[in-house]
Amino acid sequence: MEITNVTEYEAIAKENLPKMVYDYYASGAEDQWTLGENRYAFSRILFRPRILIDVSKIDMTTTVLGFKISMPIMVAPTAMQKMAHPEGEYATARAASAANTIMTLSSWATSSVEEVASTGPGIRFFQLYVYKDRNVVAQLVRRAERAGFKAIALTVDTPRLGRREADIKNRFTLPPFLTLKNFEGLDLGKMDMTNDSGLASYVAGQIDRSLSWKDVKWLQTITQLPILVKGVLTAEDTSLAIQAGAAGIIVSNHGARQLDYVPATIMALEEVVKAAQGRVPVFLDGGVRRGTDVFKALALGASGIFIGRPVVFSLAAEGEAGVKKMLQMLRDEFELTMALSGCRSLKEITRDHITTEWDLPHPRPVPRL
C-alpha cells in the first residue's frame, strides 16, 4: 500500500511494534481527552485563501535562533527511539539533516549525544530533564555543548510523570537490550521492572520535583546555549519565562501525556504569542499531522512547529527512509497550502488567512468525525 499521508504510518507502526512499545508511543494521559483534542482542534480553524497571486515561487525557508533551515517543520524530542527501529535516533538524525531541518534529541534517547553527533553535520537541539543530582545535569549539558548541539529545550511540565494507563497495564519498561544512553555511565541508564509503569517509577526516583524558575536562571550559569522553555500553555508563564531569560517558548502539552484536560496546543498558542509580544519566538508541538496544520500554527503566530509521534511511527514503519518521506510529505503539503492560500513566503502568512470558531460571534459546531 502506498503511503499518501503522515497519519497512515501509525497503523503500520501498530502492526510492526510490540504492544507495550506501540502503546507507550501512542497513548496519552488518563481519559486521553487532550490527546484527541490536540488533533481535533485544528478542524476548528478554517482558511481564508487569497486568490490570483503569483505563487510560481514559494519560499519556505526560515531562521530559528539564528540557524537557517529549509522549512518551519522540526523534529520534537521523542524518547527511546531504538524501541521503534534498531537505528533509532541515528536514523532520525540523518533524516532531519537530509531535510535540512532541526532535530531535538531526548534526554531519554537510546543513543547518546556523541553518537548522534557522529552521524554527520546537522543542527540539533538537546531536550533536558532536570535530575535531582545537578552534577548529572551539568555534565549532560556540557556533553551536549561539546557534541555541537545548538540549544537546550528544557521540559518544564514534568515534575511527575502523567498517569498513562496503557503503560501501567503493560508494566512498561525499557527493553533489556536497550539503555538510556546519555546516562549509561552514571548508573541511571536502566529502568527497573515494577508493578506499575517502569518509567513513572524512574521519574519519581530521579527527576527533580522542586524545579522552579530559579533553575532556569541556574541553567544559564552553566551553559552559553540558548534555552527554549518547553511546556508553556498560559500568558502568565510566558511572561515569567521571558523574565527568566528564555530564548524561546515551545507551546506544548507533552503530546497530551501529562495533565489531561489542558487545551490543545493550537488553542493555547495565540494567548502565548500575544503575551510574548514578539520578544522571543514561540513554537508549537502537539497534533500536527498535515501541512495545513503547520500553516494554521504559523497564521496564529508560531515561528515553527515540532513533530513527535509521526517521527517514531514512520521510523517503526520504514526506518530512516520513512522519517525522510514523512518530513517530505509534510513539506509538500505545507507548500501546497501556502500556494493555495496565496502566500509566497512565511512572512506573508497572517492571521487574516484563517478564521477560527472563537472569532465568530455565534460559533457553529463543526461536526466531529
Give 249's strand partners.
Answer: 229, 282
Query: Which residues fall in the annotated binding site?
Result: 24, 77-79, 106, 127, 129, 155, 164, 230, 252, 254, 257, 285-289, 308-309
Distance of alpha carbon 184 from alpha carbon 188, whole angstroms: 6
Closest-CA residue to 225 (of 104, 125, 131): 125
Provide the 3-class DSSP secondary structure of residue 62: strand
**Dihedral sign for Cα atoms in the order 272, 293, 332, 4:** positive
Choice among 85, 254, 353, 362 that is catalytic: 254
Query: Which residues fall in the annotated binding site for FMN?
Result: 77-79, 106, 127, 155, 230, 252, 285-289, 308-309
Distance of alpha carbon 366 from alpha carbon 96, whole angstroms: 35
State yes or no: is 254 an active-site residue: yes
Query: Which residues fall in the annotated binding site for glyoxylate?
Result: 24, 129, 164, 254, 257
Half-sphere exposure in the Cβ direction for 292 (13 Å, CA): 13
Nearest 5°: the CA angle 59, 65, 210 is 135
Neighbours of 225 (CB within 10 A): 20
Residue ranges in the chain assigned as alpha helix (H): 8-16, 19-26, 33-40, 88-98, 113-117, 134-146, 165-169, 198-206, 213-222, 235-243, 265-276, 291-299, 309-341
Active site residues: 254
